Amino acid sequence: MLIACAHGTRNPTGRRLIAELALAARDLRPGLVTTAAFVDVQPPTVVDVVASLSAQGRAAVVVPLLLSGGYHVHVDIAGAVAGHSGAVPARPLGPDPRLVAVLRDRLVEAGADAGDALTAVVLAAAGSSDPRSVADVEDTAALLQRSWAGAVTTGYGAAAQPTVADAVLAARRAGAVRVVVASYLLAPGHFHDKLRGAGADAVTAPLLPDERIAAVLLDRYDAAATPAAD
Q: What is the pLDDT of residues 153-198, one digit of tens each?
A: 999 999 999 999 999 999 999 999 999 999 999 999 989 999 999 9
Q: What is the pLDDT of residues 19-77, one digit of tens each?
A: 999 899 999 999 999 999 999 889 999 999 999 999 999 999 999 999 999 888 999 99
Q: Are 1 and 229 in contact (CB under 8 A)?
A: yes
* Gap between the Cα atoms of 142 and 160, Å rounded: 18
* Gap between the Cα atoms of 153 and 192, Å rounded: 17
**Domains of the chain and CATH, by start:** 2-94+210-224 (3.40.50.1400), 97-203 (3.40.50.1400)
pTM of the predicted model as reported, rounded to 2 decimal places: 0.94
